[in-house]
Amino acid sequence: MSEPLIPADLIHRLRSARRVAVLTGAGISAESGVPTFREAQTGLWAQYNPEELATPDAFRRNPQLVWDWYIWRQERVRLAEPNPGHLALVEMERRIADFTLITQNVDGLHRRAGSHQILELHGNLFRAKCFSEDCPVENPPLESGEIPPRCPQCGGLLRPDVVWFGEMLPANILRAAEQAATQAEVFFSIGTSALVYPAADLPFTALTAGAMVVEINPQPTPLSPHVTFSLNGAAGVVLPALIAQTWGIVA
Ligand code: BJW
């Protein structure tokens, strides 16, 4: 298969850019074997809609079901490896003076790939906190036999330290993401359906501030009609081509 051709204007802008921000979603981890949210689920969890499990109400109704779902996802992610899309963003960070990687993903694969300037908008699958009082809990006591385990400080049920629907994003992280979007000369939206707010607002913040906005996704999204360039394809194919054609290196 031939390498996708990256628009010359994008290459020129990237070569001189000092500030670049990237927003990623579940699609960038799809090629690592991590299921996305809004594409068909397989196996054990095919009967559940992930959007209905990622809510405080779902946890209140059936904490064991939701906790089990997260344990299953942790196991999938532990087996997964960063893919060429993640690795290409590590190369991009090395070449841009002020680079911010904003991710909606909770899988930690960007950090495992070697990215540094990461803002995790929706938390992290491998941390837990207490459902009653939000106490952070390092190394949750998974061996207790109780599902979900209890908070060692207050006895409340533990939950994953992620952001569910109806919950606020961590304010300092969202503020930093909005600042990066406002200041970016080039803003990428990669592997996200652009449906979930406030993350979905960030490309529009960048557009309004004058950035070149580039979407990388095999499918169109509600953002597609608005972007400067829409690169249709898998992140693990398009991003390495972009790095190679911009800086002449193989990521
Ligand atoms: C590939 C690929 C490949 C495949 N390469 N691409 C304004 C308007 C309307 C509603 C709201 C609004 N503001 C707030 C809301 C409510 C709500 C919301 O957005 N609802 C919409 C769904 C309508 N937002 C919230 O509740 C947020 N909180 C909030 O705003 O607080 C203030 C507030 C409170 C109460 C009321 C009002 C305001 C919180 C949102 C939290 C989202 N949490 C989740 C779960 C995280 C934990 C976990 O992982 O379990 O985050 S939901 C889920 O969606 C997860 C994801 O991060 C997020 C985004 O999904 P993503 O990453 O885009 O994945 P997919 O599956 O949707 O798309 C994958 C894409 O990849 C597809 O496009 C594929 O084509 C593509 N792809 N292979 C590149 N190889």
pLDDT band at 48 (very low <50, low <70, confident <90, very high): confident
pLDDT band at 2 (very low <50, low <70, confident <90, very high): confident
The Cα–Cα gap between 249 and 157 comes to 49
Give percent of the chain with pLDDT exceeding 90.
Answer: 80
What pLDDT does 135 receive?
84
The Cα–Cα gap between 164 and 151 comes to 19
Q: Is the pLDDT of residue 251 over 90?
A: no
- State both tokens at 134: 């939000």
Residues with CB under 6 A from ligand 1: 25-27, 30-31, 36-39, 54, 104, 106, 122, 162-168, 191-193, 195-198, 216-219, 221, 234-236
What pLDDT does 171 receive?
98
- Going from the Cα of 246 to the center of ligand 1, the distance in angstroms, rounded, reads 30
Residue whose C-alpha is closest to residue 100's, from 156, 8, 175, 38: 175
The torsion angles phi and psi of 150, rounded to 5 degrees, stand at -100, 150
Residue 234's Cα: distance from chain center in Å? 15
Q: Is 122 a catalytic residue?
A: yes
Q: Whose CA is nearest to atom 23 of ligand 1?
A: 196
Q: Is the pLDDT of residue 94 over 80?
A: yes
